[in-house]
Amino acid sequence: MKIGILGAGISGLSIARLLSKHFETEVLERHSIAGGIARTREAEGIAYHVTGGHCFNSKYQEVMDFVFGEVLPKKNWHAVTRNAVIRLMGNEVSYPIEYAIKQIHELDQDLAIRVSSDFLGSNDDGNYGNLEDWFRKKFGNTLSDIYFIPYNRKIWNRDPANMSHAWVEGKLPIPDKRSFFKGLISNESDKMPHSSFYYPNSNNQNTFIDSLAEGVNITCNYAVSAIAYNPVTTQWTVNGEKKFDLIISTLPLDRITGLLQDVPGEILGEAAQLKYNKVTTMLWETTGTDRTWTYVPEDGNFFHRYIHIGNFFSPSRAYSITEVVGEKTYQEMVENGRKDAFLKRPIDYHVSEHAYVVFDENYERSTTAVKGYLQEKGIYTLGRFGEWQYYNMDICIKRSMELADEIVAKHNSN
């Protein structure tokens, strides 16, 4: 059996590597090189993460075993402790903010009292009308007003009251009232898996990506423009020439329906309702910091976060990436950066295509309809954009492992 995999990002490479143990596989990639949005490009000898700052860790042991045991040995990575902060009232407080009440107290005692009172008195009944409602019930009104709502308004480029909360579980550290109280009287802190992470010793994420791609049959510079199914041969044909018994698509869910024949109008309509954000990033030489991320909820600076990529490296170097949702010109990025003396010199600039899927009021209905149609036709979807989910790199790998197991169990060539 021959399996065609559309897209050579982390998901496409992972499932190709796993399935190639059992079947013939071919990955079709429109760019000249594999890696998708996780791939870096070199700028003055620095690995510039053009779409976010990608690093690796996982709470799933099977993912850790796959990466360190089959892709890139652990000795080729170094561990980095997450040191993230939030800019609040012109100062920095620790991330996650709900563990920074002592620091907030030093800045504004009344604000710290309101934060604590709201959080400890919040009523989380488990019923959420939207993302803003989720924040208010989880963290109380004060933390929501000073951080969660303004920051999420920036990163999603829309009001949280008009968004679904479906993406957020597992993405944010959520203390219960007992651990929040311990944070007031002790040094309780974030225990999420990504509170520390691994980065390749080469100081370039591409080392991992290239290791993941090693031995995988990839056809680059191949843009998919048409996908057709022949019920007589029970095969799929891509671009009228490449034939496969199965198709796995990591292509964006809003686009794949346009590549198929005779798709019902209502499905095309639902695909058109799927929303995503682009991001604009800029790589800077800086004055230096020991932080790994800085989050910026406040107005007056349209960057929503700084990724201090130089501190992913060993030894550290004074370079950071600024990020904003949407499209900004090079000059707009430079002008905004000049407000912050920390940012010394712009080095490189990028505007992404798909970066983050948007969980708006149409999300559940539209994704259910489109994925249901593709499943009915026999096309597997996978990955951040294929499944239209806010997946980190480790979840992309985990989902690839799960789908590979499903396909092997169903179609084992032995």
Q: At what angle do helices 10-19 and 393-411 cross, to 10 degrees?
A: 30
Does residue 413 register a pLDDT over 60?
Answer: no
Q: Are residues 265 and 284 in the same domain?
A: no
- Cα–Cα distances in Å, from 234 out to 228, 231, 373, 374, 414? 11, 5, 18, 16, 20
From 189, 221, 237, the end of a domain falls on 189
Convert the pLDDT of each residue in 316-348 to its tens digit.
999 999 999 999 999 999 999 999 999 999 999
Are 246 and 98 found together in one domain? no
Q: Residue 365: what residue type?
A: R
Contact 367, 274 (CB under 8 A): yes
Rounded to an integer, what is the distance from CA 403 to the centroid of its chain?
19
Same domain, yes or no, for 302 and 169?
Answer: no
Q: What confidence category does residue 182 fall into, taking pLDDT thresholds of 50, 70 and 90? A: confident
Domain boundary residue among 351, 372, 401?
Answer: 351
pLDDT of 180 reads 78
- CATH number assigned to the domain comprising residue 178: 1.10.3110
Is residue 44 situated within a structural domain?
no
Task: Round to whole Å and give the CA distance between 322 and 282.
Answer: 5
Is residue 68 domain-resident?
A: no
pTM of the model: 0.93
pLDDT classification of 6: cutoffs 50, 70, 90: very high
List the CATH number of the domain containing 381: 3.50.50.60
pLDDT at site 168: 82
> What is the Cα 293 distance to its own chain's centre?
15
**Lowest mean per-residue pLDDT among 6-10, 134-138, 370-374:** 134-138
**pLDDT above 80: residue 181:** no
pLDDT of residue 299: 87
Q: What confidence category does residue 170 fall into, taking pLDDT thresholds of 50, 70 and 90?
A: low
Question: 100 and 146 share a domain?
Answer: yes
- Domain final position from 309, 326, 351: 351
**C-alpha closest to that of 48 among 263, 272, 226, 282:** 282
Which tops the pLDDT comparison, 307 or 174? 307
Query: Where are the alpha helices (H) located in 311-412, listed in sequence order?
Result: 330-337, 363-377, 383-386, 393-411
User: Does one domain contain both 283 and 255?
Assistant: no
Residue range 111-136, pLDDT digits in tens: 999 999 999 998 899 999 999 999 99
pLDDT reading at 177 higher than 90: no
Q: Are 325 and 279 in contact (CB under 8 A)?
A: yes
Into how many domains does the chain fold?
A: 3
Q: What are 255-284's pLDDT values in tens digits?
A: 999 999 999 999 999 999 999 999 999 999
Q: Identify the three-state secondary structure at position 225.
A: coil
Secondary structure E strands in 186-326: 196-200, 218-219, 227-230, 235-238, 242-244, 246-249, 276-277, 279-286, 293-295, 305-307, 319-325
- Sign of torsion, CA 325 326 330 333? negative
Kindly report each contact of residues 409-412 with a partner whose C-beta sits within 8 Å and lies 24 or more positions away, as own/partner: 411/1, 411/23, 411/246, 412/22
